[in-house]
């Protein structure tokens, strides 16, 4: 049972470049650097509308930040079919990263679900030349409270691995999470400590906070994107995979 659980969580951790639709369309696995280089523009965006046209369909996005290319207010994706074969699909209200090429959004260019993109969000930003910072204690508190709060089960103490916060701790309800620096095992998911929270990827960029973490004891892998506003942290995206 333990080996099965570990195999499932390893799959979640590695779910970066090959979602189901990507495998079905035979997209070649690419690194964040290759995807960013291949796109003309890359944006962090929100889907605001989808409308039918006489000539097809249009999905409109509000562009929050330009990861690569000029900052723009909006982008419209026009196509003949509502859901093109081997094309991405979006829901109004969701956040995503757009990899624009020839004014189109090819699936294999990197236009997968945000969950896949968040698995290595820091590398996308760095590949575009951005400087990213570590998460503060407040950032980490907000990220973990909004993902793992229901999985701590009043355990008094849990070890968490995230180097920039080593020696510090945060309190989530009755559970104290004490941070340590991970060893070389961080590169090998099947060697992750089973009773600890492990931060796989995290980034602070402008007012954006991203986190990809796993907690093997509960069989969960969590990904979250937050925006730090003057009124606190706003959840833009949250997904918790359960094995």
- Determine the average pLDDT of the residues in 188-214: 95
Predicted local distance difference test score (pLDDT) of residue 25: 72
Taking the C-alpha atoms of residue 40 and residue 25, their distance in angstroms, rounded to an integer, is 22
Claim to verify: residue 145 and residue 222 sit in the same structural domain: yes
Claim to verify: residue 40 and residue 114 sit in the same structural domain: yes
In a domain, 123, yes or no: no
Predicted local distance difference test score (pLDDT) of residue 82: 80
In a domain, 142, yes or no: yes
Residue whose entry in the numeric block shows the structure tokens 């189901």: 20
Claim to verify: residue 113 and residue 141 sit in the same structural domain: no
In a domain, 163, yes or no: yes
**131 confidence band (pLDDT: 50, 70, 90):** very high
Strands of the sheet containing 157-161, edge to edge, are 169-172, 175-180, 157-161, 197-205, 208-215, 220-229, 232-242
Taking the C-alpha atoms of residue 67 and residue 126, their distance in angstroms, rounded to an integer, is 10
Claim to verify: residue 108 and residue 147 sit in the same structural domain: no
For residue range 46-93, what is the model confidence (pLDDT) as tens digits?
Answer: 999 999 988 889 999 999 999 999 999 999 999 888 877 778 889 999
Claim to verify: residue 221 and residue 173 sit in the same structural domain: yes
Predicted local distance difference test score (pLDDT) of residue 216: 93
Give the burial string for 16-42 (b: 16+ CB within 10 Å, else e): bbeeeebeeeebeebebeebbeebebb
In a domain, 130, yes or no: no
- Determine the average pLDDT of the residues in 193-208: 96
Predicted local distance difference test score (pLDDT) of residue 21: 57
In a domain, 201, yes or no: yes
Q: Residue 4 pLDDT more than 80?
A: no
**Domains identified in the chain, total number:** 2
For residue range 94-112, what is the model confidence (pLDDT) as tens digits?
Answer: 999 999 999 999 988 999 8
Quickly list DSSP for 57-119. Answer: EEEEEEEEEEEES---SEEEEEESSSS-TT-----TT-EEEEEEBTTB--GGGT---HHHHHT
Claim to verify: residue 35 and residue 101 sit in the same structural domain: yes
Taking the C-alpha atoms of residue 9 and residue 192, their distance in angstroms, rounded to an integer, is 10
* Chosen domain end from 56, 83, 118: 118
pTM above 0.85, yes or no: yes
Range of the domain at 220: 137-242
- Determine the average pLDDT of the residues in 199-228: 97
Q: Residue 10 pLDDT more than 70?
A: no
Claim to verify: residue 110 and residue 183 sit in the same structural domain: no
For residue 42, give the CATH number of its domain.
2.40.50.120
Kindly state the helix (H) or strand (E) to which residue 171 belongs, with its residue range. strand 169-172
Claim to verify: residue 67 and residue 154 sit in the same structural domain: no
Predicted local distance difference test score (pLDDT) of residue 92: 96
Under DSSP, is residue 21 helix (H, G, I), strand (E, B) or coil?
helix
CB atoms < 10 A from the CB of 49, how many?
12
Q: How far apart are the first and last CA of the chain?
A: 11
Lowest mean pLDDT among 62-66, 200-204, 239-243: 239-243
Question: CA dihedral defined by 186, 189, 190, 193, rounded to 10 degrees?
Answer: 50
Predicted local distance difference test score (pLDDT) of residue 222: 96
**17 confidence band (pLDDT: 50, 70, 90):** very low
In a domain, 62, yes or no: yes
Residue 133 DSSP code: B
Taking the C-alpha atoms of residue 100 and residue 183, their distance in angstroms, rounded to an integer, is 37
In a domain, 224, yes or no: yes
In a domain, 6, yes or no: no
């Amino acid at each position: 049972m333990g080996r099965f659980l570990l195999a499932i969580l390893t799959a979640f951790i590695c779910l970066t470049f090959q979602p189901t639709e990507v495998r079905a369309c035979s997209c070649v696995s690419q690194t964040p650097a290759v995807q960013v280089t291949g796109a003309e523009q890359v944006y962090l965006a929100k889907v605001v509308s989808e409308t039918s046209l006489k000539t097809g369909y249009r999905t409109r996005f509000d562009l929050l930040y330009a990861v690569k290319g000029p900052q723009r207010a909006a982008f419209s994706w026009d196509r003949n079919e509502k859901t093109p074969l081997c094309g991405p699909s979006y829901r109004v209200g969701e956040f995503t990263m757009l990899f624009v090429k020839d004014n189109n959004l090819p699936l294999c260019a990197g236009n997968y679900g945000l969950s896949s993109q968040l698995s290595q969000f820091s590398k996308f930003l760095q590949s575009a030349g951005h400087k990213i910072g570590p998460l503060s204690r407040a950032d980490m508190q907000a990220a973990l409270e909004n993902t793992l709060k229901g999985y701590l089960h009043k355990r008094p103490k849990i070890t968490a691995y995230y180097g920039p916060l080593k020696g510090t701790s945060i309190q989530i309800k009755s559970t104290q999470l004490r941070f340590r620096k991970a060893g070389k095992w961080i590169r090998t998911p099947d060697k992750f400590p089973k009773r600890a929270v492990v931060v796989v990827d995290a980034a602070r960029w402008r007012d954006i906070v991203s986190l990809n973490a796993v907690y093997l004891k509960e069989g969960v892998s969590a990904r979250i994107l937050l925006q730090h506003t003057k009124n606190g942290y706003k959840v833009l995206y949250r997904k918790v995979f359960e094995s």
